[in-house]
Amino acid sequence: MKRSTRDRWWVGIPLIAIGAMILFRQLGYDIDVGYIFRTYWPLFLIWWGVKGISEIRRNGGYAFIGPVIVLAIGGYFLARNLGWIDYSMGEFIRYLIPVMLIGGGLFVLIGPRRRDRKHHDKMQPPPAPEQPYKPLAPEDLEMPSSFDEQFEKTFGKPKQEQKNDAHGPHFTGSTDSSSQGQQYKKKHQSYNSNDTGYGEHYDDGYGNGYGDYGSGNTINKSAFIGDLYMGQEVFSLKPMNISAFIGDTVIDLTKAQIPYGETKIVISSFIGDVKVFVPEDMDLGVTVTTNSFIGDMSLLNQKRGGFLSSAQAETAHYHEASKKVRIIVSVFIGDVKVNKVG
């Protein structure tokens, strides 16, 4: 099938399917378009992944990595929406990563490496032919005229430059180097004249939140691959900045000593679930703001899910509470759960 024909199929079939559903609804058939989109939206990811896999030969062998990831994510969400599996996103990623490593190793071992190399060698243009040897012309063999010799006999040789002119740049350079040394010394003294100036400028430029890192008022934690747990023991709650690349993030605030005022917790995760357990306390107010590319959300008994989701929830009388916790969560792929316990 030609590329133009295949591209028309990829665009035409989804349009026909969407138009047919809307038409049947207009004709009086009981079709819940909202339910269909909520349940079968992963088909768009599957369609995108299959389309990318079909173009591997044109884009190269290593172009299969992106479409396979998109296809796996679409298949996971479709199976989850239909009730076929009950895995969380973190558990799914734990299985997906080793499977992709195994597939990548097999591709390196049995991939079309030699065939691509032979094809590349065949496609290289032939080298340009060498130019034939041309004998020199008679004009090129003539000796240069003795005009300079006649000029010297008539007017004499020009005087040579004085030796001190040749050494002039060296003396000038020594003077420049001494002046540069004095300038460097002045700059060095100006930098060391105030040791605390750099820190104050850094705090003024980037805010007081990051400046508290040195004083211990802000907790910064990060994890590249693996789960991150906080709150297994009694601890004093402070403002936190938590970032994780691949893995679940679990924070238990039921054992935390929450101070008066507002405490801010910022959580960022690329792939993985985020779970925060908040104690059931009348004096505690909680507000949650979340953003997710793909994943479900459960915020203070309010549920929401789908694609490109953002939500915000807070407890009653949050502004009147003496103790406040503000939670901000940003997740690319994963579920977010912030629930009260107690």
Q: What is the pLDDT of residue 230?
A: 87
Rounded to whole angstroms, the Cα distance separating 206 from 216 reads 17
> Given 3-state DSSP classes, what are the helix, strand and coil percentages for the chain, each rounded to the nearest 5?
50, 25, 30
Neighbouring C-beta atoms of residue 88, cutoff 10 Å: 18
The confidence score (pLDDT) of residue 174 equals 42
What single-letter DSSP state applies at residue 342?
A: -
The H-or-E segment that residue 301 falls in is none
* Of the listed ranges 24-38, 41-55, 63-77, 115-129, the one predicted with least confidence: 115-129
The model's pLDDT over 136-158, given as tens digits with 9 standing for 90+, comes to 565 555 555 555 555 565 656 55
Instruction: Mention every residue, 6+ apart, whose C-beta is less than 8 A from residue 127.
Output: none
* pLDDT surpassing 60 at residue 190: no
Provide the residue ranges of all domains of the chain, joining segments of one domain with +: 3-86, 207-341
Asked if pLDDT for residue 192 goes beyond 60, the answer is no
Pairwise pLDDT comparison (40 vs 238), residue with the higher score? 238
Using one digit for the tens of pLDDT, what is the confidence trace for 44-93?
888 888 877 776 655 555 556 777 888 888 888 888 888 888 877 777 87
CA dist., res. 39 & res. 33, Å (int)? 10
Contact 56, 63 (CB under 8 A): yes
> Is residue 278 helix, strand or coil?
strand
> At a CB cut-off of 8 Å and minimum separation 6, what does 248 contact?
90, 227, 228, 272, 273, 274, 275, 334
**Residue in the block written with tokens 């995760």:** 269
178's enclosing H/E stretch is: helix 168-192
Q: Specify the amino acid at residue 127.
A: P
Only one residue has tokens 């559903």, namely: 21
d(CA 264, CA 262): 7
Cβ atoms of residues 248 and 273 within 8 Å: yes
- Sort strands 284-294 and 307-314 into parallel, antiparallel or unpaired: antiparallel
- pLDDT given at position 45: 84
The DSSP secondary structure of 223-240, one letter per residue, reads: EEES-EEE-SS-EE---E
pTM here is 0.46
pLDDT recorded at residue 329:
93
CA–CA dist 155, 149 (Å, integer): 10
Amino acid letter, 234: V
Whether 236 shows a pLDDT value over 50: the answer reads yes
Nearest to 96 by CA among 272, 265, 249: 272
- In the chain, the percentage of residues whose pLDDT exceeds 90 is 9
What whole-number distance in Å separates Cα of residue 35 and Cα of residue 193? Answer: 69
Highest mean pLDDT (candidates 128-137, 169-178, 273-282): 273-282
Confidence (pLDDT) at 49: 81
pLDDT at 181: 46
Q: Is 39 exposed, middle or buried (CB count within 10 Å of its CB: 0-12, 13-18, 19+)?
A: middle
| Residue 176, amino acid | D
pLDDT in tens, 82-97: 888 887 777 787 788 8
